[in-house]
C-alpha cells in the first residue's frame, strides 16, 4: 500500500476527484458522466500538446514554440481547405503533421548541431513561426463560413458515445504510453534526463535523441493545429497566443520534472485534465477568471515544490546506498 501511494499520479487523481466533489457542491450537474465526457473532450487538445511537451522536458529541454507551431500549421491547413474544399480531411491532417514535423526539426537541428540551449532556440522560433503565420495569411482570418463542413465536423462526429476528438486524444495517449514504456527511444529519453553523461557511455546519441523529441513535439503541434482550428472554427495570427504556458503548466502539475528524467504519460494527462476542470468549472460557479489564474498558479508552485522534494529524497536514498556499499 505504501509503495502504491508513492506514485504521484495517484495523489493527482485523488486531487482531481476531490476537486470535482467540491465543484459539485456548488453545481451538482458537474459530476454527471455526460458533463465529465464533455470536460475530457474540451481538454483533449491540451492533453495531446502536454504529451508532446513531456518528451522534450524529460530530456532537460523545453519547447516554447508549440503554440506558434499550432498557429502556423492551423492557418496553412485552414487556407488550404478554404481554397480547395475537396481535399480529404486525412490529407489535411497529414499536411499538418508534416508541417509540424518540419518546424520541430528546425528546433531540433539548432539544439543538436549548433548546441544552442533549447529555451533560446524555441524562444526565437516562437516569434518566427507566429510571424510566418502573418506572412502566409497576410494578416487575414479564415472564418467558419470559408471552411468546408467536413473540415469543421470531422472531430465532432460521435463514435461509441465519444466525439472523434476524444478518440484521437485516447489514441495519442496510448501511442505515447507504448513508446515511453516499451521502446528503446523511450528508455533513451528517460536516461538522458537522468544523466546525459552516463547516457553517452551507454551508447545513446544524446544530440540525435533530442532532435527526435523536438520532431515529435513538432508533429504534435501540427496535429493540434488542425484540431484547434476545426474546433474553434477560426484561424488567425492570435490563435493559441500564450498557450505554451498552459502546456508547460500541465506537465509541471502532472509531475514532469523540469530537471528532466522524471515523469509519466499518465501524469501529463492528469495535469492537463486538472487545468481543464478548473477552466470548465470555475466560470460555471461564478468564480472570477483572476481566481482561475491564481488557482492554476498555486497548483504549479505546489507541484514544483513536491517535485523538488521528491528529487532530493531520491538523491538521499542513492547516497545512502552508496555509503552502505
**In angstroms, rounded to a whole number, what is the distance separating the alpha carbons of residues 228 and 232?**
6
Is the pTM here over 0.85, yes or no?
A: yes
Residue 7, class by beta-carbon neighbours within 10 Å (0-12 exposed, 13-18 middle, 19+ buried)?
middle
40 and 166 in contact (C-beta within 8 Å)?
yes
Grid coordinates representing 232 are: 474553434
Q: Which domains does the chain have, with CATH numbers?
A: 8-23+37-324 (1.10.3470)
* Tens digit of each residue's pLDDT, the chain (325 residues): 444 445 677 888 888 888 888 888 887 778 888 888 999 999 999 999 999 999 999 999 999 999 999 999 999 999 999 999 999 999 999 999 999 999 999 999 999 999 899 999 999 999 999 999 999 998 889 988 899 999 998 888 888 888 999 999 999 999 999 999 999 999 999 999 988 888 888 888 999 999 999 999 999 999 999 999 999 998 999 898 888 988 998 999 888 988 888 889 999 999 999 888 888 877 776 766 677 677 777 777 877 776 666 555 444 333 344 344 4
**In angstroms, rounded to a whole number, what is the distance separating the alpha carbons of residues 10 and 18?**
12
* 3 state DSSP class of 217: helix
**In angstroms, rounded to a whole number, what is the distance separating the alpha carbons of residues 248 and 253?**
9
Please, which residues have CB within 8 angstroms of residue 111's CB and are 6 or more apart in sequence? 61, 117, 118, 121, 207, 210, 211, 214
Summarize the chain as % helix, strand, coil (round to 5). Answer: 80, 0, 20
**In angstroms, rounded to a whole number, what is the distance separating the alpha carbons of residues 223 and 240?**
14
For 42, 53, 89, 244, the CA distances from 66, given in Å and listed in that order, are 19, 8, 22, 6
Amino acid at each position: 500500500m505504501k509503495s502504491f501511494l508513492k506514485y504521484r499520479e495517484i495523489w493527482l487523481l485523488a486531487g482531481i476527484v476531490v476537486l470535482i466533489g467540491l465543484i459539485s457542491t456548488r453545481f451538482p450537474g458537474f459530476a454527471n458522466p455526460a458533463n465529465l465526457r464533455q470536460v475530457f473532450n474540451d481538454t483533449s487538445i491540451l492533453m495531446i500538446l502536454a504529451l508532446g511537451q513531456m518528451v522534450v522536458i524529460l530530456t532537460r529541454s523545453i519547447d516554447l514554440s508549440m503554440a506558434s507551431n499550432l498557429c502556423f500549421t492551423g492557418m496553412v491547413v485552414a487556407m488550404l481547405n478554404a481554397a480547395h474544399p475537396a481535399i480529404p480531411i486525412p490529407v489535411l491532417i497529414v499536411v499538418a503533421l508534416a508541417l509540424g514535423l518540419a518546424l520541430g526539426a528546425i528546433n531540433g537541428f539548432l539544439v543538436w548541431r549548433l548546441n544552442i540551449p533549447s529555451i533560446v532556440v524555441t524562444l526565437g522560433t516562437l516569434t518566427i513561426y507566429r510571424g510566418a503565420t502573418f506572412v502566409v495569411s497576410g494578416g487575414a482570418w479564415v472564418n467558419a463560413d470559408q471552411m468546408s463542413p467536413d473540415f469543421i465536423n470531422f472531430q465532432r462526429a460521435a463514435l461509441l458515445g465519444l466525439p472523434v476528438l476524444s478518440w484521437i486524444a485516447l489514441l495519442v495517449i496510448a501511442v505515447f504510453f507504448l513508446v515511453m514504456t516499451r521502446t528503446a527511444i523511450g528508455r533513451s529519453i528517460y536516461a538522458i534526463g537522468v544523466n546525459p553523461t552516463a547516457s553517452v557511455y551507454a551508447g545513446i546519441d544524446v544530440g540525435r535523441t533530442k532532435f527526435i523529441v523536438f520532431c515529435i513535439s513538432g508533429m504534435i503541434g501540427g496535429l493540434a493545429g488542425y484540431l484547434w482550428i476545426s474546433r474553434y472554427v477560426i484561424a488567425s495570427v492570435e490563435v493559441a497566443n500564450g498557450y505554451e504556458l498552459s502546456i508547460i503548466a500541465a506537465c509541471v502539475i502532472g509531475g514532469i520534472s523540469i530537471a528532466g528524467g522524471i515523469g509519466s504519460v499518465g501524469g501529463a494527462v492528469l495535469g492537463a485534465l486538472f487545468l481543464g476542470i478548473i477552466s470548465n468549472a470555475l466560470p460555471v460557479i461564478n468564480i472570477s477568471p483572476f481566481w482561475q489564474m491564481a488557482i492554476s498558479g498555486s497548483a504549479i508552485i505546489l507541484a514544483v515544490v513536491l517535485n523538488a522534494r521528491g528529487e532530493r529524497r531520491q538523491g538521499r536514498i542513492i547516497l545512502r546506498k552508496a555509503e552502505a556499499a
